[in-house]
Protein backbone atom coordinates (compact mmCIF):
# COMPACT_ATOMS: atom_id res chain seq x y z
CA UNK A 1 0.00 0.00 0.00
CA UNK A 2 2.74 2.43 0.96
CA UNK A 3 4.66 1.54 -2.22
CA UNK A 4 1.65 2.43 -4.40
CA UNK A 5 1.26 5.80 -2.66
CA UNK A 6 4.98 6.51 -3.11
CA UNK A 7 4.65 5.74 -6.83
CA UNK A 8 1.64 8.05 -7.13
CA UNK A 9 3.46 10.86 -5.34
CA UNK A 10 6.54 10.37 -7.53
CA UNK A 11 4.36 10.41 -10.66
CA UNK A 12 2.69 13.65 -9.54
CA UNK A 13 6.09 15.25 -8.83
CA UNK A 14 7.32 14.30 -12.31
CA UNK A 15 4.23 15.76 -13.92
CA UNK A 16 4.65 19.06 -12.05
CA UNK A 17 8.34 19.24 -12.97
CA UNK A 18 7.56 18.74 -16.67
CA UNK A 19 4.84 21.38 -16.80
CA UNK A 20 5.65 25.03 -17.22
CA UNK A 21 2.25 26.03 -15.87
CA UNK A 22 0.68 24.04 -13.10
CA UNK A 23 -2.74 25.70 -13.14
CA UNK A 24 -3.56 26.99 -16.62
CA UNK A 25 -6.99 28.31 -17.51
CA UNK A 26 -9.01 25.76 -19.49
CA UNK A 27 -9.69 28.27 -22.27
CA UNK A 28 -5.94 28.81 -22.84
CA UNK A 29 -5.01 28.30 -26.47
CA UNK A 30 -1.66 27.38 -27.91
CA UNK A 31 -1.36 29.54 -31.03
CA UNK A 32 1.17 27.20 -32.63
CA UNK A 33 -1.44 24.47 -32.74
CA UNK A 34 -4.31 26.67 -33.89
CA UNK A 35 -2.55 29.23 -36.12
CA UNK A 36 -4.84 29.82 -39.06
CA UNK A 37 -4.07 32.91 -41.12
CA UNK A 38 -7.38 32.65 -42.97
CA UNK A 39 -9.23 33.08 -39.69
CA UNK A 40 -6.97 35.89 -38.50
CA UNK A 41 -7.76 38.15 -41.44
CA UNK A 42 -11.53 37.74 -41.03
CA UNK A 43 -13.39 40.48 -39.19
CA UNK A 44 -15.01 37.94 -36.83
CA UNK A 45 -11.86 35.92 -36.09
CA UNK A 46 -12.18 33.20 -33.47
CA UNK A 47 -8.43 33.21 -32.78
CA UNK A 48 -7.29 36.85 -32.70
CA UNK A 49 -9.28 39.75 -31.36
CA UNK A 50 -8.85 43.20 -32.92
CA UNK A 51 -6.55 44.20 -30.06
CA UNK A 52 -4.41 41.09 -30.55
CA UNK A 53 -4.11 41.86 -34.27
CA UNK A 54 -2.90 45.36 -33.44
CA UNK A 55 -0.42 44.00 -30.89
CA UNK A 56 0.98 41.19 -33.03
CA UNK A 57 0.96 42.85 -36.47
CA UNK A 58 1.00 46.55 -35.51
CA UNK A 59 -2.09 47.52 -37.50
CA UNK A 60 -5.82 47.02 -37.75
CA UNK A 61 -7.47 44.45 -40.01
CA UNK A 62 -8.75 47.30 -42.17
CA UNK A 63 -5.24 48.70 -42.68
CA UNK A 64 -3.98 45.19 -43.41
CA UNK A 65 -6.64 44.74 -46.09
CA UNK A 66 -5.79 48.12 -47.65
CA UNK A 67 -2.10 47.20 -47.91
CA UNK A 68 -3.01 43.76 -49.26
CA UNK A 69 -5.18 45.31 -51.98
CA UNK A 70 -2.32 47.62 -52.98
CA UNK A 71 0.39 44.95 -53.35
CA UNK A 72 -1.28 41.63 -54.17
CA UNK A 73 -1.14 42.04 -57.96
CA UNK A 74 2.60 42.68 -58.22
CA UNK A 75 4.82 40.35 -60.23
CA UNK A 76 6.82 39.12 -57.21
CA UNK A 77 3.73 37.18 -56.17
CA UNK A 78 3.06 35.79 -59.68
CA UNK A 79 6.16 33.65 -60.19
CA UNK A 80 5.87 30.04 -61.32
CA UNK A 81 7.29 28.57 -58.10
CA UNK A 82 4.80 27.63 -55.43
CA UNK A 83 4.57 30.23 -52.67
CA UNK A 84 2.43 30.96 -49.68
CA UNK A 85 -0.68 33.08 -50.10
CA UNK A 86 -0.07 36.83 -50.29
CA UNK A 87 -2.17 37.32 -47.13
CA UNK A 88 0.17 35.05 -45.16
CA UNK A 89 3.26 36.66 -46.67
CA UNK A 90 2.02 40.09 -45.61
CA UNK A 91 1.34 38.81 -42.08
CA UNK A 92 4.88 37.40 -41.84
CA UNK A 93 6.33 40.68 -43.12
CA UNK A 94 4.32 42.82 -40.70
CA UNK A 95 5.18 40.60 -37.74
CA UNK A 96 8.87 40.76 -38.65
CA UNK A 97 9.12 44.51 -39.12
CA UNK A 98 6.98 45.12 -36.05
CA UNK A 99 9.14 42.93 -33.79
CA UNK A 100 11.99 43.97 -31.60
CA UNK A 101 15.19 42.27 -30.54
CA UNK A 102 16.01 38.71 -31.56
CA UNK A 103 12.87 38.18 -33.61
CA UNK A 104 13.02 41.54 -35.38
CA UNK A 105 14.49 42.55 -38.70
CA UNK A 106 18.08 42.61 -37.51
CA UNK A 107 17.87 39.39 -35.52
CA UNK A 108 17.30 35.84 -36.60
CA UNK A 109 13.92 34.65 -37.77
CA UNK A 110 13.63 31.50 -35.66
CA UNK A 111 10.82 32.75 -33.40
CA UNK A 112 8.84 34.00 -36.38
CA UNK A 113 9.30 30.70 -38.17
CA UNK A 114 7.97 28.88 -35.12
CA UNK A 115 5.07 31.34 -34.73
CA UNK A 116 3.95 30.82 -38.34
CA UNK A 117 5.00 27.20 -38.71
CA UNK A 118 7.34 27.88 -41.64
CA UNK A 119 11.11 27.68 -42.13
CA UNK A 120 13.55 30.48 -41.24
CA UNK A 121 14.63 30.81 -44.88
CA UNK A 122 11.02 31.26 -45.90
CA UNK A 123 10.64 34.12 -43.40
CA UNK A 124 13.62 35.88 -45.01
CA UNK A 125 12.39 35.23 -48.56
CA UNK A 126 8.90 36.49 -47.73
CA UNK A 127 10.34 39.64 -46.15
CA UNK A 128 12.34 40.37 -49.32
CA UNK A 129 9.37 39.63 -51.58
CA UNK A 130 6.90 41.88 -49.73
CA UNK A 131 9.51 44.65 -49.45
CA UNK A 132 10.02 44.46 -53.22
CA UNK A 133 6.26 44.71 -53.84
CA UNK A 134 5.98 47.76 -51.56
CA UNK A 135 8.94 49.45 -53.29
CA UNK A 136 7.43 48.71 -56.72
CA UNK A 137 4.13 50.19 -55.55
CA UNK A 138 5.91 53.31 -54.30
CA UNK A 139 7.73 53.73 -57.63
CA UNK A 140 4.44 53.41 -59.50
CA UNK A 141 2.90 56.12 -57.31
CA UNK A 142 5.87 58.48 -57.84
CA UNK A 143 5.75 57.88 -61.61
CA UNK A 144 2.01 58.70 -61.65
CA UNK A 145 2.61 61.96 -59.80
CA UNK A 146 5.36 63.03 -62.18
CA UNK A 147 3.41 62.07 -65.31
CA UNK A 148 0.33 63.92 -64.06
CA UNK A 149 2.48 67.06 -63.77
CA UNK A 150 3.85 66.79 -67.29
CA UNK A 151 7.24 65.22 -66.55
CA UNK A 152 8.24 62.35 -68.76
CA UNK A 153 10.02 59.16 -67.70
CA UNK A 154 13.65 59.27 -68.90
CA UNK A 155 14.58 55.62 -68.26
Q: Where are the domains of the chain?
A: 32-148
Are residues 94 and 64 in contact, defined by beta-carbon separation less than 8 angstroms?
A: yes
Residues lower than pLDDT 50 in the chain: 29, 31-32
Residue partners of 64: CB distance under 8 A and separation at least 6 = 41, 53, 57, 90, 91, 94
Task: Return d(Cα 126, Cα 84) in angstroms, integer.
Answer: 9
Q: Which helix (H) or strand (E) holds 86?
A: helix 86-97
Show the beta-strand stretches assigned E in the chain. Answer: none
Distances (CA, A) of 66 to 29, 79, 122, 153: 29, 23, 24, 28
For the chain, helix (H) and strand (E) counts, in that order, are 8, 0
pLDDT for 136 equals 92
pLDDT for 154 equals 57
Task: Return d(Cα 146, Cα 7) in angstroms, integer.
Answer: 80
Task: Return d(Cα 28, Cα 140) in angstroms, integer.
Answer: 45
Q: Please give the model's pTM, rounded to 2 decimal places.
A: 0.70
pLDDT for 101 equals 65
Task: Return d(Cα 135, Cα 129) in angstroms, integer.
Answer: 10
pLDDT for 61 equals 92
Amino acid sequence: MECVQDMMVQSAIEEVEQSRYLFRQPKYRDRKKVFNWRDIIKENSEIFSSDEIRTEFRMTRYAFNVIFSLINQYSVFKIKRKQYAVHLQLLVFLKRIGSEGAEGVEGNSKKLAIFFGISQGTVKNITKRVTKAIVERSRDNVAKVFSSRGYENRN
